[in-house]
Amino acid sequence: MSKIVVVGSLNFDTSIHVPHLPAKGETIIASHLSLHHGGKGANQAVAIARLGGQVSFIGAVGNDENGHQLINGLKKAGVDTTGIAIKDNAHTGMAFVCVAHSGENNIIVYPGTNYRITKEDIDRNRPLITDADYCLLQLEIPFEIVRYVIGICHEAKVKVVLNPAPVSADFDDRILAHVDYILPNETELAMMVGESVTMENIGKLASSLLAKGCGHAIVTLGENGSFLVDPVRQEHFPAVKVKAVDTTAAGDSFIGAFTYRLASGDRIDEAIRFATKAAAITVTRHGAQDALPSLEEVKNWLVS
């Protein structure tokens, strides 16, 4: 089994369940509230570990109850947490998730210690990166850290999987020259290329990321599945139709499962199909990490 390292965010999530997502200025009553372990980086690491992958995590939490709970949760899932720095005098990252009865959501993230990770933290854990076969990153940590890690991966010939979420104004697309797989959703792709995404132009827009040096682009499209662009093909992969109750961790489930299957030796199309199934299971459950399936669950679901 190939080694995977995730460099990214850890958040303590507060999910508020509402009849519909509130409009500007609207006050609505929530039906219930729940607390979950989250953060894009942590979610993706747990997705990999729960499927049986060998995964290490590099990130930062505060020296507080939320931070210690998040570390313990990762350990319980089977993630190597030796690369997590504990920062004094700073709060662990938090996310506030509004979940509609339809399963749609919106999220506000307070970065906290996710923005306190430093190059020195990365250097202390450099062997976790250079010994890995794949490095998975997101953009809930400072962009300069993402760029620094990608540079280390390039020198060490470690394959880079980038989930460009959330995309912000400081995104420098020159890093794409050293990214092997990029997985934006359609909103993030639109922000990266400055143009609205449709099924008619998605191939052209995703191809523009390859023109900047990226090896493969997989655009996740929610209920419409995903779209692959690589040097030899453009292919749409339909979603599996299920009744969604919470889409909070759907993208993280897909990306973690995709990376796990690549590290297991799958072809890219096989990895996408497997990830599609894992994400479909995830949206039928509430929460983030709590919703991520095991390998046995995905295999059993595949043959059911």
Bridge-based pairing of strands 105-110 and 93-100 is: antiparallel
Q: Which of 256, 240, 241 is nearest to 291 (CA)?
A: 256
**Is 251 annotated as a binding-site member?**
yes
Cα dihedral 20, 94, 287, 101 in deg (nearest 10): 0
**Is 222 annotated as a binding-site member?**
yes
**Is 248 annotated as a binding-site member?**
yes
**Is 200 annotated as a binding-site member?**
no
Q: Which of 64, 252, 269, 290 is catalytic?
A: 252
Judge residue 236's burial from the number of C-beta atoms within 10 Å of its C-beta, 0-12 exposed, 13-18 middle, 19 or more buried: middle
**Is 123 annotated as a binding-site member?**
no
Report yes or no: 256 and 294 within 8 Å, Cβ to Cβ. no
**Is 39 annotated as a binding-site member?**
yes
Annotation marks residue 88 as catalytic: no
**Is 75 annotated as a binding-site member?**
no
**Is 40 annotated as a binding-site member?**
yes
**Is 225 annotated as a binding-site member?**
yes
Give the Å distances, CA to CA, from 142 to 59, 71, 86, 137, 280: 11, 20, 17, 11, 30
Judge residue 304's burial from the number of C-beta atoms within 10 Å of its C-beta, 0-12 exposed, 13-18 middle, 19 or more buried: exposed
**Is 78 annotated as a binding-site member?**
no
**Is 220 annotated as a binding-site member?**
yes
**Is 140 annotated as a binding-site member?**
yes
Cis peptide before 238 (omega within 30 of 0): no
CA 156 to chain centre: 23
| Distance of alpha carbon 299 from alpha carbon 304, whole angstroms | 9
Annotated binding site for substrate: 11-13, 39-43, 140, 252
Q: Which residues does the annotation mark as catalytic? A: 252
Annotated binding site: 11-13, 39-43, 140, 185, 220-225, 246, 248, 251-252, 282, 285, 287
Annotated binding site for ATP: 185, 220-225, 251-252
Annotated binding site for K(+): 246, 248, 282, 285, 287
